[in-house]
Amino acid sequence: MIKNLTINILLITFTVLIFSSLSLAGTQNQTTEKKVNLGQIQKKINDIDKKIEKNKETKEGLKKALKKQEKKIIKTKKELKKINNKERINKKKLSKLNGEIKKLKKELALGKKRQSVILYQSYIKPKPGYLQMFLEGVNPNKITREINYLGYLSRSYNENITQIKNTYNKINEKKETTNKTIKKISSLKQKKLVNNKKLLKQKKAKKNVINKISKKIESQKKLKKKLIADEKKLTSIIQKLLEKSKKESAKKSKKKKSIKDNKNIPNNKFDGINFAKLKKKLRLPVKGRVTNKFGSKRKDTGVTYKGIFIKAPEGRKVYAIAKGKVVFARVLKGYGNIIILDHGNQYMSLYGNNKSLNKKENDIVKGGDTIALVGNSGGNITNGLYYELRRKSKPFDPLKWTNNK
């Protein structure tokens, strides 16, 4: 019967350990998965940062190119302004030349008309001969003057017509030169206008590209913001999972510690030190396996343990955990053969379920002294030591005061 109960306890303990391991493994798997996800998000953030940086560089390059383009456009506009001014001056000059030519044409026509009159009067219109005029009593001087005057007019009109023709030819040459200049200016102007149109088109294209890149950068920044939020969220989840894993690991470790074999025994190195200062320094009083911890319930009776039960073979030595005085050493119902040590400042240690006691009441013992032998006098399901620590009669967890290293 005892053997079956022992096997059942072992199976239950083993099952608890398996489920604890599975729970811990599950948390660790979740943590690993989340870390992988976090790594992917961080990689995406790094990739986006690189893309943003590259796009910014491209944008800056385009801005510089755009500035150069704008300078070229300004230069072309200035050149066009000068060309337009030249064109205006030359057109004005041409208009003036056309006016002069028109005037000369009128003068030439008038000269020719006058010349025609003289020719008509001199050669076509019948006139009395000089002899007839002389016979008619016309003053010879008057006849001479008239002949000279007509000759003078004819010569004068000829010279004037020649001069007008020369001036006309010169102005006409100027007109042709001005027309050629205007044509050259118009051709240059056309080229500049085409170039300016091309520059404006390129400027517009660059602006469009810059706007697209700006929008792309903004979009990437928004995505980065979202990824950073996801990163923070995931980091928080990982932190919680790590804390959970840590707690589960600590819990598992605690469980492992609570059932592992104790191979250390007490000694007298702390004798003379205030017991209150021995927390985490004490050794368990017997070599064995802790099967029931503080606050757990007995499987057979359901009674809550106020101490711990250390499974050990019958007859194994039980040692005093520290220097103290034996204040109780006899049989006590529910505890069997029990020995109680007073360590001062109302700290006491209890050792029950013993086969026999090696010390009697009022004995002074040192840490590491043999005080009893392991047995099963308390009616437990197996041989072992029942061990308690108390202060002011209030029990507390002995394992929290034990150095397990």
Tens digit of each residue's pLDDT (9 = 90 or more) over 245-281: 777 776 665 555 444 577 888 999 988 899 999 999 9
The SS3 of residue 363 is coil
* pLDDT level of residue 88 (50, 70, 90 thresholds): confident
pLDDT of residue 140: 62
**14-28, 75-89, 278-292: least confidently modelled range:** 14-28
Taking the C-alpha atoms of residue 58 and residue 212, their distance in angstroms, rounded to an integer, is 11
* pLDDT level of residue 296 (50, 70, 90 thresholds): confident
Sort strands 261-262 and 308-311 into parallel, antiparallel or unpaired: unpaired
Structure-model confidence comparison of residues 344 and 23, the more confident one: 344
| Residue 369 in tokens | 């002294």
Is the whole model's pTM more than 0.85, yes or no?
A: no
Q: Give whichever of 90-104, 223-237, 284-298 has the largest mean pLDDT.
A: 284-298
pLDDT of residue 138: 57
pLDDT of residue 247: 78
Taking the C-alpha atoms of residue 279 and residue 398, their distance in angstroms, rounded to an integer, is 9
Of 311, 295, 318, 300, the residue nearest 260 (C-alpha): 311
Alpha carbon 201 to its chain centroid, in Å, reads 35
**Residue length, the chain?**
405
Residue 316 has pLDDT above 70, yes or no: yes
Mean pLDDT across 321-344: 93
Convert the pLDDT of each residue in 92-134 to its tens digit. 877 887 887 778 778 777 766 766 766 565 555 445 555 555 5
* pLDDT level of residue 139 (50, 70, 90 thresholds): low
* pLDDT level of residue 197 (50, 70, 90 thresholds): confident
Cα angle 337, 338, 340; round to 5: 160
* pLDDT level of residue 357 (50, 70, 90 thresholds): very high
pLDDT of residue 147: 62
CA atoms within 13 A on the CB side of 92: 6
Taking the C-alpha atoms of residue 194 and residue 189, their distance in angstroms, rounded to an integer, is 9
Cα angle 148, 152, 154; round to 5: 120
Sort strands 384-391 and 347-357 into parallel, antiparallel or unpaired: antiparallel
Q: Give whichever of 43-52, 81-90, 362-371 has the largest mean pLDDT.
A: 362-371
| Residue 156 in tokens | 């004068």
Mean pLDDT across 298-302: 71
